Amino acid sequence: MKKSIRTFLKVAEKDEIARSANPAIVRASTIYFKTMQEMRSHQKKISKGKKVLHWDYGRQGSQTTIKLQNILRELEQSYDVFLTQTGFGAVAVFNINKFCFFANFIFKISKTIWIIPNCVYRPTQKLTSQLLKEFKIKTIWYDPNNFDDLKNKVTKKTKLIYVENPGSNSFEFQDLGKIVSFAKRKNIYTAIDNTWATAYYFKPIKLGFDLSITSATKYYSGHSDVMAGSLAVSKKVYKKVWWYNHVSGYRLSADDAYLIIRGIRTLDLRLDKHHENTLKVIKWLSKQKKIAKILYPHNPSSKSYKLWKKYYSGASGLLSIIIKSKSKNSVYSFVNSLKLFGIGYSWGGYSSLAVYNDQTEMGDRRFFKIEKNHHLIRLHVGLEDTNDLISDLKNALRKVK
């Protein structure tokens, strides 16, 4: 019987031995075997990349992390999924923290070029522009609103196109199908940060991406109490990523994996509610004179909406608003006066958040500029009653002068 993803998330990976609704938390460094023959046979299975119920050494994970990988593999519709200790760690497995070794020894792309849109998460932007050049890898930024700009910047040395969709804080949506098709014709690897939508609303590997990164800290967890990352991969790159992950020591703890499993059971319900609440809040915001612009795929006549609709089945609770004011301090007062929107990072939990972002905090943005007397506020619309959230925003907006 084929199950819908909603049903799958509720019934997958229960503990059949203990007859528990959720898998056990298995903490282990030592894994016992009955005989040396059994150990060697199991190690051969692991070295060939075969699916196993347990590892030969705790550094690789435990039964709890394997169960989370099984859930995410089905959700992502990917060949496999690797887990990391943080969301940015998933970026690291493939290109940042230990990127240098991975890039040079796995993909053998020293002295090559990476093409990245100039709208990515600031840490990604900063490290790719500063760290990569130390290893003779050049980063070229392209305009996320101009596909021709991407195409014109690709050369024979280009080895990777990395996408973040939508753009961090500025919410540019790109034509992902065009990017994938173009990259395949040129034999270029593709990777995407899919944290905003998660695999519930969009499946990058199914579209043709080689790697899909998600911060499990956010919507997969949904409770703002654990940090983790996932890296879904295609069959094409699986062996390369598996080898690096195997020797690098990246590992998610059993306790953190359990918390992600607990949260992901309600991923569909939470994300659908985030989307519903966000549209209600945006409907009210769009009528406010002090709001100059709303950055979110909500307007059917916009390019962003059309590109979002083309590939996504839904949208999350993260958006940005542009407030028009000659007084930065009064906009700060707007944020400070919010009672239900907490001031803080790491969106994706059940609660609403607000953060003021100026141009410098967004990094070196060459294709997105905040106009004079315009102020960008990133909002995360949580699961609270939207009447209360709107009332909170209404009261705080009075502070804007």
pLDDT of residue 110: 54
Q: What count of other Cβ atoms lies within 10 Å of the Cβ of residue 105?
A: 13
- H or E element, residue 136: none
90 pLDDT band, cuts 50/70/90, is: low
Please give the Cα distance from 247 to 165 (Å, whole number).
30
pLDDT of residue 111: 57
Please give the Cα distance from 172 to 45 (Å, whole number).
43
The string of pLDDT tens digits covering residues 19-28 is: 888 899 999 9
Whether 5-27+62-264 shares its CATH topology with 267-397 is answered: no
- H or E element, residue 149: helix 147-153
pTM: 0.90
What percent of the residues of the chain are helix, what percent strand, and what percent coil, each to the nearest 5? 40, 15, 40
Q: Which CATH number fits domain 5-27+62-264: 2.40.110.10, 1.10.940.10, 3.40.50.2300, 3.40.640.10?
A: 3.40.640.10
pLDDT of residue 83: 93
Q: Are 90 and 84 in contact (CB under 8 A)?
A: yes
pLDDT of residue 109: 53
Tokens representing 305 are 């909406």
The string of pLDDT tens digits covering residues 209-248 is: 999 999 999 999 999 999 999 999 999 999 888 887 777 7
Structural domain boundaries in the chain: 5-27+62-264, 267-397
Average pLDDT over residues 113-122: 79
Q: What count of other Cβ atoms lies within 10 Å of the Cβ of residue 317?
A: 28
**Res 96 pLDDT > 60:** no
Among the listed ranges 83-92, 146-155, 278-287, which one has the minimum average pLDDT value?
83-92
Q: Does domain 267-397 have CATH number 3.90.1150.10?
A: yes
Type of residue found at 220: Y
Q: Please tell me which residue, 394 or 125, carries the higher pLDDT value.
A: 394
**Res 167 pLDDT > 80:** yes
**Res 103 pLDDT > 70:** no
Q: Are 180 and 207 in contact (CB under 8 A)?
A: yes
Burial class of residue 130 in the structure, from the number of CB atoms within 10 Å of its CB (0-12 exposed, 13-18 middle, 19+ buried): exposed
pLDDT of residue 243: 80
Q: What count of other Cβ atoms lies within 10 Å of the Cβ of residue 104?
A: 15
> Which residues partner with 343 through β-bridges?
354
269 pLDDT band, cuts 50/70/90, is: very high
Average pLDDT over residues 329-348: 97
- H or E element, residue 357: strand 353-357
pLDDT of residue 347: 96
**Res 92 pLDDT > 50:** no
Task: Classify each residue of 203-238 as buried b or exposed e, where b means 16 or more C-beta atoms within 10 Å of its C-beta.
Answer: bbbebebbbbbbbbbbbbbbebebbbbbbbbbeebb
Mean of pLDDT over the chain: 89
Tokens representing 23 are 């898998």
Residue entry with tokens 């991407």: 150
